[in-house]
Amino acid sequence: MNDPTRSRSLRIRAALAVAAVTGLGATALTALPAAAAGEAVTVQYRQSSTGGDQVEPWLKVVNTGSSSVPLSQVKVRYYFKADAGASYTYACSWAVKGCANLTGTFGTLAHPTATADRYLEVGFTAGAGSLAPGADTGDMQLRFNRSNWQPLDQSDDYSFGPSQTTYANWSKVTATVGGVPVWGTAPAGNEPTPTPTDPTTPPPTGAALFDDFDYTGHTDPAIDAHGWSIRSNAGGPGVSGATWAPENVTFAKEGTNSIMNLRSSTAGTGESTRHTEILTRASKFKNGTYAARVRFSDAPVSGPDGDRVVQTFFTINDLKAPMADDYAEYDFEYLPNGGWGEPANILYTTSWETYRPDPWEAVNQHSESRASYAGWHDLVLTVDDNAIVYYVDGQEFGRHDARYLPERPMSINFNQWLIDLAGQTSTTPRAYDQKVDYVLHVKDQVLTPAQVAAKVGAYRTAGTTFQDTVPATP
C-alpha cells in the first residue's frame, strides 16, 4: 500500500447519491421499511458565518415524536451549490454530543438544480445515544470549506439562510430516521427515498473467494497453495528501516473459529520495528463485494501506548507511472492513536484514483469517523459500475464517486504498520495486535451486509474453510 502521509489534506470528498444499493445477480430487495411508530424529528438551523472561506451550518435535531429515537439511525442533509472544480473538507468545531460522535460525508445530487448539486450528510455514531421525546441534540457547530481554502460563494446554496441567526425549524435541511424521510424538503427532483431493508437470503452461487484462515502457522504450505503471500521484503509504507516479519502472522482458535493475528512491534527505532502484511499473490479482483471481520486494537498487548499505528483491510493494484489513471486502491484504515495530522483515534475509508510520489499529489476521496473502533467489526466494500460503498457493522459508512472505480483488477490485503516513531518515543518494547476472522470476495455481485453474513454462515455450516473459484482474469 502506498504511503498516504501527505494525502489527507488533498482528499477529494464528494459522493455519488444513489437511492439504494442493488444486487448484480443477488436476490430481490424486500419491502421498504416504515419509521417506527412515534418516531419523528425536526431540524433547527442557524448560520454562524456568511464569510467567504467556509460554510458554518449550526444544527440541532429535535425529537418531536412520542418515542425515543436512536441517533445512530438519524441522517441530516444540508444542500449547497459547489464551486466549479472544488472539493470540500468537513469539520466539527464543537457539539454537545461530542464531535467524535458525529460523522460528515459529502454527496452529489442525482438531479442538480440551480441552487444545489452537493450535500453534506451528518450522521451519528452509537456513542451519541438516543433522544427522548421532546429532547434535542444541543448545538452541533459544523463547518466545511474548499479543500484548498479558496474563497467560496454561499449566496446560491439551497440550505443557506443568511438571515437565520438564531435557531429555528428549517425545512431546507432534511432528515431521515432509519432511512425513512421524516423532515424537510430536498431540492426539486432529489427527494430522499426510503432505504430498502437488507435481504438476508444468501445470493445465488457465483465465483467467490472465502478463507476462514484455518492454518497452523506462517509456514503452513496451504497458505501458499491458497494464493496468499506473507510479506517479508523491505520497503514502505511506514517507519524507515522496519522489517516485515512473516513470523508475526500467526493463527489460533478462538471459540470455534480460526483467527489470524497480525502482530506489529517496536522498541522505538527503525531497526527494532516489525510490521506485518498478508496479501493475495494474484491481482484478479475487481467489481463485486469484499468483506472481512476484523478486530482493531486501541492499546498494545504489552508496553507503553501511543504509537501511530495503522490497521487495515484493503484492495490495491500497482501504480505503473506517476498519476497513472488505471491505478486503484480501496482502504479501511484505523488509526487508534491518530496520525496524518489527527490527534486521536479515527477510521478512514478511502477510494484512490491515482497519485504521484514526488512531488506528492493525490486524487482520492475519503470518509472518516473520529471515534474508537476497538473490538470486532464487520467491514464490507461493494464496487459496481456506479459507485464504491463502504459499510461498518451493517451501516453505510461512505459512498464514493464513479470516477474512482477500478480500471484494472486488484489484490486483497491486510497489514498493520507504524506511520513513524513520533507518537511514542520510549525505547521500551511494545506490540499491537490486529485480528482477522475471515475474508470474502464475491465477483460481480453487490451483496448487502446481511447477505454477506448469510453467505459466511452458509460456508461455515457446510464446513468449508476455503474456496477460490474466482478466475485468474476478471
pLDDT surpasses 90 at 190 = no
387-420 tens-digit pLDDT: 999 999 888 888 898 889 999 999 999 999 999 9
Give dist(CA 8, CA 4) in Å, integer.
Answer: 7
Per-residue CA distances from 413 to 122, 231, 335 (Å): 30, 10, 17
Grid-cell match 459522493, residue found: 15
Residue 474 banded pLDDT, cuts 50, 70, 90:
low
Pairing mode of beta strands 274-280, 243-244: parallel
Q: Identify the pLDDT of residue 398.
A: 87
Which cell numbers hold the place of 472? 485468474
Among 52-56, 176-180, 197-201, 251-255, the least confident range: 197-201
Residue 88 banded pLDDT, cuts 50, 70, 90:
confident
Residue 41 DSSP code? E
13-43 tens-digit pLDDT: 222 222 222 233 333 222 333 444 456 899 9
H or E element at residue 148: none
Give dist(CA 292, CA 336) in Å, integer.
Answer: 19
Q: Terminus-to-terminus CA distance in the chain, angstroms?
A: 21
301-315 tens-digit pLDDT: 999 999 999 999 999
Residue 202 banded pLDDT, cuts 50, 70, 90:
low
Give dist(CA 71, CA 175) in Å, integer.
Answer: 11
Residue 9 banded pLDDT, cuts 50, 70, 90:
very low
Percent of the chain whose predicted confidence (pLDDT) is above 90 = 67
CB 290 within 8 A of CB 455: no
- Better-scored residue on pLDDT, 471 or 192: 471
333-381 tens-digit pLDDT: 999 999 998 999 999 999 999 999 899 888 999 988 888 899 999 999 9
Give Cα 368 distance to the centre of its chain.
6
- Dihedral angle, C-alpha 401, 404, 408, 414, nearest 10 °: -100
282-293 tens-digit pLDDT: 999 999 999 999
Which cell numbers hold the place of 68? 425515543
Q: Identify the pLDDT of residue 201.
A: 59
Who's near 443: CB < 8 A, 6+ residues apart? 206, 207, 208, 285, 286, 287, 288, 470, 474
Mean pLDDT of the chain: 87
CA neighbor of 396 nearest in space, from 367, 363, 438, 439? 367
CB 163 within 8 A of CB 142: no
Q: Identify the pLDDT of residue 410.
A: 98
CB 84 within 8 A of CB 99: no
Tell me the average pLDDT across 174-188: 90
Tell me the average pLDDT across 143-169: 92
Give dist(CA 436, CA 313) in Å, integer.
Answer: 9
- Better-scored residue on pLDDT, 416 or 85: 416
Q: Identify the pLDDT of residue 35.
A: 46
CB 58 within 8 A of CB 140: yes
Give dist(CA 278, CA 108) in Å, integer.
Answer: 35
250-293 tens-digit pLDDT: 999 988 889 999 999 999 999 999 999 999 999 999 999 999 99
Which cell numbers hold the place of 101? 460522535
CB 212 within 8 A of CB 465: yes
